[in-house]
Structure formats: structure tokens, C-alpha cells
């Protein structure tokens, strides 16, 4: 018997070496992985024949203890169940698993790509199992106990049943192998043989479409990232606007240096209080014949005054306020002259229509004795003054005075940034109430802009310019009226009632503004004009697109 070890990278190469050494009938003893790849132990087919002959001719020797104990067995034999129990115990100790599964495992281990070699391996393994069964039966038959009990029908029956059981299991394994062979041979030839994977674990390629669907959309981006992008876009827009404004300002200043008439007009409009935004809009529309004039004639000032007057809204073409009738509420900041203006309008109306057609209401309950001033004017005119503390009482008084031709409401003065301003406006949100905003003409232009925005001047019937006798420059107030397109329904230039109540035309208001003369500290030269336009951003903000300058 010659057993050899073969090593190769794969089972196919190892089996090729075995076939080359021992032929097609070689006996494979083991197949296991090793460091070089696969290790196979095999021997020639003559070695199996030698093993079978040696197992068949081996003498059966009984042990001396068993032979010496044989004469002492003259006593009566034990019941039949004892040998059968001992045989079952020995069989349990010699537990032999079913060889059908081992055959399948060996076949799977030695699986080749061709069907013929698989059949060869199956046949050789079955032959080896059959030889092992025969080798296992011979020692059991050579056992002295079995020989001594051969005449015992119970033990003979146990041995025969064991042999029959093993024979049945061998036949079942053969049938299973034949069935697999038939199934593999009957498979369609067109089907490609299954190639075993090279790697033990399969490599799964991710689905591209699934990966795309799992990608976060734009709406799933965190709000912080979207906010950062929005802030960046806002900064870029602001930088673009600033650059455009600066280049526009530089171009405008260069234009003023080439055209002296426009430079003089710009300087004059800035001195009387008009905003740089309005001045630039006005000067850019200056006619060519005026721009080329170098004599210093007042034609450009007159042209500018006419343009401003056309864009300033007044009610000179409409009936006077005291002639219209209705319910009017005076609103505005503290100390602008709301109560005095209410008394002036009431006196003008009572002079023409009588005190019986007039109603007076005051909402000024915040200051101590605030309503006493209006009550004093009411006693002079012979008109009772009613006080409303909330919206419900105001509506009751309006219903009570609904038969009056005119009802005037005096409100409490509040700063434009006071939180109670909105409450007062909500209180006056009645269908019949028309609001009139009273503006102090002596205030700065920025303050007037703030007042107009806080008191919602666009929702008012009109604006009353008070204290124009105190204003050094009327330009800031007129500038605000032009830019916000607000209508001036009257002006007040003193404390006298009703003598200081007037309705002035737009031309008169503009001429009054243009005649103002600043003091030496507030006069401008060309360098000051360039400084204003070079450093002031948003010079065109708030200018109406429909403003006519021709």
C-alpha cells in the first residue's frame, strides 16, 4: 500500500496530479486546505484490494480471560434480554452517524467542474464506505462473545438486524447518488454551468438609482445653510448696489464740474434744505440750454421752482376743509399743534355754518388738564366738548353727533416711536373717521420722514403743516411731501385763532422755501457739494418714478 500527499493551488490541479500518479481508479483518502492551497492524500487502487484481502484473512483470536471463563459458564443462562441489552449498549458506544451526509459533504468538497469526474468521485466514495462497513462487520463477528453466543437466537437476531440496517442505509445512499446523477445529466445543455464564486463573501454593488433617491433634496438642507446662502446673496446685492451708487455719484460730480449752471442749482437746493436724492433727480433733468448757461442768471432756479411746484400736491383746486364737512381726527406727535389746529378749523367752520352744526370730541385723557384747552375754545365758540376714553365710547359719541355737519376729534400727542401710537390708530379705525396728520414744518427732514412712516400718512386725508413761522427752512417738509406724494390741505403760521389758518398754493410754498437764506455756518461751496454726493449712499431712494422734471 503506497499513500502519497499531493499539494496544489486548487482542487482541480490536485486531482489532476492524483490522476497522473495513480490513474482514474485512484483512491482519495482526504482533501483539506493547507498553506499552499489544497492537500490531497491518495493511493493506488491496488492498495484498497490489499486492505480487503488482509481484513478477510485475519484470524479471530479470543482473549485468554474469555477462554478461561468459558468452563465456568455451566450455570443457567441469563434471560434473553441481557445479551440484547449489552449489544444495544455496545452499539450505542459505537455510535456511527449516517454516512449519507458524509458522502454528500465529501462530494461537495471534491466537486469538479465536469460531470464525469463527479460521478467518478461518487463511485469511489461509495466503494470506500462499503469497504469500511465490511471492515466494521468483521471485527464484530470475530468478537468471542458473539461467537460464544452464536447459538443464541436473540444475539443472532441482533447481529442480523444490524447488518440489515447498514445494508438499507447503503442502498438509500446509492439511490440518492443515482437520482442526482440523473438530474444532472437531464439538465438542458444550453444552460451555462454555475461557476463557483472566487471569494467566499459576495461583493454587492450599490444600486445607483437607490443612492440618488436617498440623496437629500434642496428642501432637506438645514435651515442654517439656507440662511447663510441667503445672507451671502444679500451681501452681494448690497455690494453691487453700493458700487453702482458710487460710480453714479462720481459721474454726477464730474458732470457738475463741466456744467456750472447745474453746479449752482445743486448748491442752492441743498442750502434751502432739499435732500440730495431729490436734488440729483432734479438736476439730471435740467434742460440743455440752462445747463450751458455760464452767466449765472436765475433761470435755473425758476425752472427748479416750477418743477417742484408741479410735483407738490395741495388742495387749492378743491373745496376748503370747512366747506366739505365730515368727521376729522387730528393726529400727530406731541406739541405739533393738534389742539390749536382743531380750534382754528372749528372757528372757521362756525363762522360760516354756525356752532349748531359743529361737534367737538377729545381723546386726550393722558395729560392732566389736557382737554381743558379745547373746552376753553368750545366755550368761546359755544360748542360743548365731549370726552371719549375708548373705542366704544367714541362710537357712541359719533352716533350721538351723527346729525352734525362737521365733527372734529382732538387726539393725544404721542411720539412717533411710542407703542401706544398703534393703539390710537386702531381706535380711530372707523369708517366715517378721516385722519389728518399734523406735521411740524420746523423739524429736520429725517424726523419728518420718521413721523410720516409711523403715523401711516398714506392712509390719511391729508397733511397740515404747522409752525411754518418757526421754520428756518421749509425745504425738508416740502421734500418729504413730494417724495411720499402727500397732499397739503392747510398751513398754520401762528397761535391766533382763526387768523393763522391758511390754504397756500404749491407755488407759494415752493417760493417761500427757495427764499430762505442760511447762515454763514450752513452755506455750501463746491467742495461741500462733492463731499455730500461722494459719501451719501442711496441718493435716489424714495424718489417717485413718475416725478416730472421737464
Whether residues 460 and 548 fall in one domain: no
Residue 217 domain-assigned (yes or no): no
What is the chain's Cα-based Rg?
Answer: 60
Q: CB-side exposure of 265: number of CA atoms within 13 Å? A: 31
Residue 76 domain-assigned (yes or no): no
Per residue in 296-344, pLDDT (tens digit) is 556 788 889 999 999 999 988 888 888 888 999 999 998 898 999 999 9
How many structural domains are present in the chain? 3
Each residue's pLDDT expressed in tens, for the chain with a length of 550 residues: 678 888 998 888 888 998 888 888 888 888 888 888 889 888 888 877 777 676 666 555 444 444 444 444 444 444 444 444 554 455 445 444 444 444 455 445 444 444 455 666 677 778 887 887 776 555 444 444 444 444 444 444 554 555 666 677 767 767 766 666 555 555 444 444 454 444 444 445 555 556 555 555 555 556 778 888 888 888 888 888 777 766 666 666 666 666 677 778 888 888 898 988 898 888 888 777 665 555 555 678 888 999 999 999 998 888 888 888 899 999 999 889 899 999 999 999 999 999 999 999 998 766 656 678 888 889 998 999 999 988 999 999 999 999 999 999 999 888 888 888 888 898 898 889 999 999 999 999 999 999 999 999 999 999 999 999 999 999 999 999 999 999 999 999 988 888 889 998 999 999 999 988 877 777 776 666 666 666 554 444 455 545 655 5
| Phi-psi label, residue 303: left if phi above 0, alpha if psi -120 to 50, beta otherwise | alpha
Whether residues 525 and 499 fall in one domain: no
Whether residues 482 and 335 fall in one domain: yes
C-alpha dihedral over 529, 530, 536, 538, to 10 degrees? 90
Residue 275 domain-assigned (yes or no): yes
Q: Give me the count of residues in the chain.
A: 550
Whether residues 179 and 278 fall in one domain: no
From 184, 213, 246, give the residue that closes a domain: 184
**Would you give the end-to-end CA distance of the chain in angstroms?**
126
Q: How distant, in Å, are the alpha carbons of 231, 388, 413, 420, 480 from that of 416?
A: 31, 22, 9, 9, 16
Whether residues 377 and 467 fall in one domain: yes
Q: Which of 409, 413, 401 is nearest to 440 (CA)?
A: 413
Residue 221 domain-assigned (yes or no): no
Residue 195 domain-assigned (yes or no): no
Whether residues 331 and 436 fall in one domain: yes
Q: How distant, in Å, are the alpha carbons of 183, 279, 340, 379, 418 from that of 374?
A: 117, 42, 8, 9, 24
Whether residues 140 and 24 fall in one domain: yes
Whether residues 352 and 446 fall in one domain: yes
Residue with cell 372707523: 430
Whether residues 525 and 496 fall in one domain: no
From 162, 184, 206, give the residue that closes a domain: 184
Whether residues 466 and 382 fall in one domain: yes
pTM of the model: 0.54
β-strand 406-410 against 358-362: which pairing, if any? parallel
Whether residues 395 and 530 fall in one domain: no
Residue 144 domain-assigned (yes or no): yes
Whether residues 417 and 546 fall in one domain: no
**Full residue range of the structural domain in which residue 432 is found:** 317-503
Residue 267 domain-assigned (yes or no): yes
Residues 22/45, Cβ–Cβ less than 8 Å: yes
Residue 227 domain-assigned (yes or no): no
Q: CB-side exposure of 367: number of CA atoms within 13 Å? A: 13
Q: Which three three-digit cell numbers place residue 490?
A: 392747510
Alpha carbon distance 246, 538 (integer Å): 9
Amino acid at each position: 500500500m503506497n499513500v502519497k500527499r499531493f499539494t496544489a493551488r486548487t482542487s482541480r490541479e490536485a486531482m489532476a496530479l492524483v490522476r497522473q500518479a495513480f490513474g482514474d481508479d485512484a483512491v482519495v483518502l482526504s482533501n483539506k486546505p493547507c498553506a499552499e492551497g489544497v492537500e490531497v492524500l491518495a493511493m493506488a487502487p491496488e492498495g484498497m484490494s490489499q486492505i480487503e484481502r488482509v481484513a478477510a484473512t485475519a484470524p479471530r483470536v479470543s482473549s485468554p480471560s474469555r477462554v478461561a471463563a468459558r468452563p465456568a459458564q455451566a450455570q443457567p443462562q441469563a434471560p434473553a434480554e441481557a445479551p440484547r441489552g449489552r449489544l444495544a449498549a455496545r452499539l450505542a458506544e459505537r455510535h456511527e452517524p449516517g454516512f449519507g451526509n458524509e458522502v454528500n459533504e465529501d462530494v461537495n468538497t471534491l466537486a469538479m467542474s465536469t460531470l464525469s469526474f463527479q460521478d467518478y468521485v461518487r463511485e469511489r466514495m461509495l466503494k470506500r464506505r462499503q469497504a469500511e462497513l465490511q471492515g466494521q462487520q468483521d471485527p464484530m463477528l470475530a468478537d468471542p462473545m458473539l461467537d460464544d453466543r452464536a447459538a443464541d437466537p436473540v444475539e443472532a437476531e441482533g447481529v442480523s438486524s444490524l447488518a440489515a440496517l447498514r445494508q438499507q442505509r447503503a442502498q438509500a445512499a446509492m439511490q440518492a447518488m443515482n437520482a442526482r446523477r440523473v438530474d444532472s445529466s437531464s439538465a438542458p445543455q444550453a444552460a451555462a454551468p454555475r461557476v463557483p464564486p472566487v471569494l467566499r463573501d459576495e461583493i454587492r454593488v450599490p444600486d445607483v438609482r437607490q443612492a440618488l433617491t436617498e440623496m437629500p433634496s434642496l428642501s432637506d438642507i438645514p435651515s442654517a445653510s439656507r440662511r447663510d446662502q441667503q445672507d451671502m446673496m444679500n451681501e452681494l446685492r448690497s455690494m453691487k448696489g453700493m458700487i453702482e451708487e458710487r460710480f453714479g455719484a462720481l459721474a454726477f460730480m464730474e458732470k457738475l464740474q463741466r456744467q456750472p449752471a447745474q453746479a449752482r442749482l445743486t448748491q442752492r437746493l441743498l442750502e434751502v434744505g432739499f435732500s440730495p436724492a431729490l436734488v440729483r433727480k432734479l438736476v439730471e433733468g435740467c434742460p440743455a440750454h440752462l445747463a450751458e448757461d455760464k452767466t449765472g442768471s436765475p433761470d435755473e432756479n425758476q425752472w427748479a421752482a416750477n418743477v417742484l411746484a408741479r410735483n407738490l400736491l395741495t388742495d387749492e383746486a378743491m373745496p376748503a376743509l370747512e366747506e366739505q364737512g365730515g368727521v376729522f381726527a387730528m393726529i400727530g406727535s406731541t406739541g405739533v399743534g393738534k389742539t390749536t389746529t382743531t380750534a382754528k378749523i372749528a372757528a372757521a367752520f362756525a363762522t360760516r355754518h354756525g356752532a349748531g352744526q359743529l361737534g367737538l370730541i377729545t381723546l386726550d385723557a393722558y395729560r392732566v388738564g389736557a382737554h381743558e384747552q379745547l373746552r376753553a375754545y368750545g366755550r368761546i365758540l359755544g360748542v360743548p366738548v365731549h370726552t371719549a376714553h375708548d373705542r366704544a365710547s367714541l362710537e357712541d359719541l359719533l352716533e350721538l353727533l351723527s346729525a352734525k355737519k362737521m365733527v372734529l376729534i382732538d387726539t393725544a400727542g404721542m411720539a412717533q416711536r411710542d407703542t401706544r401710537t398703534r393703539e390710537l390708530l386702531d381706535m380711530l379705525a372707523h369708517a366715517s373717521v378721516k385722519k389728518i396728520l399734523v406735521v411740524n414744518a420746523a423739524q429736520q427732514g429725517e424726523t419728518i420722514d420718521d413721523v410720516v412712516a409711523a403715523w401711516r400718512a398714506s392712509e390719511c386725508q391729508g397733511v397740515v403743516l404747522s409752525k411754518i413761522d418757526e421754520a428756518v427752512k421749509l425745504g425738508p417738509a416740502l421734500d418729504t411731501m413730494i417724495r411720499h406724494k402727500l397732499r397739503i390741505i392747510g398751513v398754520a403760521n401762528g397761535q391766533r385763532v382763526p387768523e393763522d389758518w391758511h390754504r397756500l398754493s404749491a407755488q407759494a410754498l415752493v417760493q417761500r422755501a427757495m427764499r430762505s437764506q442760511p447762515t454763514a455756518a450752513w452755506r455750501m461751496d463746491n467742495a461741500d457739494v462733492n463731499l455730500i454726493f461722494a459719501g451719501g449712499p442711496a441718493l435716489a431712494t424714495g424718489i417717485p418714478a413718475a416725478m416730472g422734471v421737464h
